[in-house]
Amino acid sequence: MAGEILRHWYHLPPFPGFPPDLSQYPDMQRIARTVQTSIGAKSLMAVTGIALLLFVLVHMLGNLQIFSEPEKINGYAHFLHSLGPGLWIARIGLLVIFVAHVWAAVRTSRASREARQVDYAYKKKDLATSYAARTMLMSGIIVALFLAYHLMHFTLGWVDFAGSHVGKLPLYTLQDGTEVPDVYTMVIQGFQHPLTAITYVIANLVLALHLSHGAASLFQTLGLRNRENAATFTKLGLAVGAIVAIGNCSMPLAILFGIVG
Ligand code: HEM
């Protein structure tokens, strides 16, 4: 469907094998039909949201090694890079999950707007929904923009306000004698620049806001949240948001204020 629209817009010739013919695979057809329904898209958003949340938490735990000696985070980055094809499978899996999450979010919000036919009699902010809930789409867009910047900053080395490490990352010698890119120095030099550190702090606060509602509401979508336990899940969402905010903001702030590095 999306492929058809893109082809139409850009006057592209038919792409061989796209969209794929699923007539031979009834199970795949059923899954494709289900995720296009409103509850299917919401469930897809919930399941992919859990995977992305797990990634954020694991990534944060790995990064917090910046508070230890350079050997730790450099050894960890070397371990990840040494996974070779395994790392690429994980990266592609993560990208697919991320795209599915964005697709489901756009579909869900469009479906709820269409179902509403007439606009709210009250402004959205008058309704008994939290600020995080009302701003999910906007916070999601900001996180996606941050992610693009973050990848260009640390993974691709294309942008850095300090201009310190772009294309000339120093090498670090691990205790076993292996020479590896010095991720420790890259992160320290990156966050010593106030604009970079502040950008990361703001983006991670927005991410925490997004996760605080997302983590609480996915249980509702999965049918686990009810009137009795709703308050517990709301608190769980707030706890997840607080953990991500404290963990991810502690790094740029500690480096900016010279506590680390
Ligand atoms: C202060 C917070 C963060 C720090 C210090 C940080 C640090 C890093 C570093 C150093 C890398 C490059 C690793 C390497 O190539 O060896 C990286 C990659 C990455 N980060 Fe972060 N990150 C932070 C927050 C986030 C957040 C909030 C997200 C997601 C929303 C995220 C998603 C990613 C992704 C997808 C990659 C690419 C992984 C890969 O190359 O396979 N990061 N991060």
| 22 is a domain residue | no
Atom 16 of ligand 1: nearest residue by CA position: 77
Q: Which residue has the tokens 């939290």?
A: 130
Does position 16 have pLDDT exceeding 80, yes or no? no
pLDDT at 126 over 60: no
Asked which of 124-128, 144-148, 161-165 is least confident by mean pLDDT, the reply is 124-128
Q: Cα–Cα distance between 206 and 218 in angstroms, integer?
A: 18
Q: In the prediction, which pLDDT does 221 show?
A: 87
Decide if 15 is inside a domain. no
d(Cα 22, Cα 4) in Å, to the nearest integer? Answer: 16
Confidence grade of residue 61 (pLDDT, cut at 50, 70, 90): very high
3-state percent helix, strand, coil for the chain, nearest multiple of 5: 70, 0, 30
Residue 14 falls within a domain, yes or no?
no
| Alpha-carbon gap, residue 184 to 67, rounded angstroms | 10
Whether 185 maps to a domain, the answer reads yes
**Residues 78-101: pLDDT tens digits?**
999 999 999 999 999 999 999 999
**147: CA distance to ligand 1 center in Å?**
8
Position 143 in a domain: yes
Tell me the best of 58, 102, 154, 159 to mutate to test the pocket of ligand 1, counting ligand atoms within 8 Å of each CB and taking the most.
Answer: 154
Q: Could you tell which of 155, 185, 198, 244 is best to mutate to test the pocket of ligand 1, judged by most ligand atoms within 8 Å of the CB?
A: 155
Assess if residue 6 is contained within a domain: no
Contact call for residues 131 and 137 (beta carbons, < 8 A)? no
In Å, what is the CA distance from 79 to each residue of 66, 107, 152? Answer: 15, 38, 21
Can you read off the two tokens belonging to residue 198?
Answer: 């502040």
- 200 alpha carbon – ligand 1 mean position (Å): 11
pLDDT band of 169, cuts 50, 70, 90: confident
Helix (H) or strand (E) holding 61: helix 38-63
Q: Choose which residue among 88, 89, 150 to substitute to test ligand 1 binding: the one with the highest number of ligand atoms within 8 A of its C-beta.
A: 150
CATH number at 207 reads 1.20.1300.10
Residue 102's φ and ψ, nearest 5 degrees, are -65, -45
Which of 2-6, 109-113, 174-178 has the highest mean predicted lDDT (pLDDT)? 174-178
Give the three-state DSSP class for 224. coil
Which of 104-118, 146-160, 245-259 comes out lowest in average pLDDT? 104-118
Six token digits for residue 84? 């070779």
Instruction: Name the band, by pLDDT with cuts 50, 70 and 90, for residue 122.
Output: low
Tokens at residue 242, please? Answer: 């607080």
Domain that holds residue 177: 36-116+132-256
Q: Give the per-residue pLDDT at 25.
A: 82
| Mean confidence (pLDDT) of the chain | 87
| Ligand 1 neighbours by CB, cut-off 6 Å | 56, 59, 63, 77, 91, 143, 147, 150-151, 154-155, 183, 187, 200, 204, 207, 248, 251-252
Backbone angles phi, psi at 171, to 5 degrees: -100, 155
Instruction: Provide the domain count of the chain.
Output: 1
Give the whole-angstrom CA distance, residue 28 versus residue 79: 36
Could you tell me if residue 156 is inside a domain? yes
Query: 57 exposed, middle or buried (CB, 10 Å; 0-12, 13-18, 19+)?
Result: middle
Asked if residue 192 is part of any domain, the answer here is: yes
Task: Determine the Cα–Cα distance for residues 80 and 150; give it in Å rounded to an integer.
Answer: 18
CA 150 / ligand 1 centre spacing (Å): 7
Three-point CA angle 170, 91, 133, nearest 5°: 110
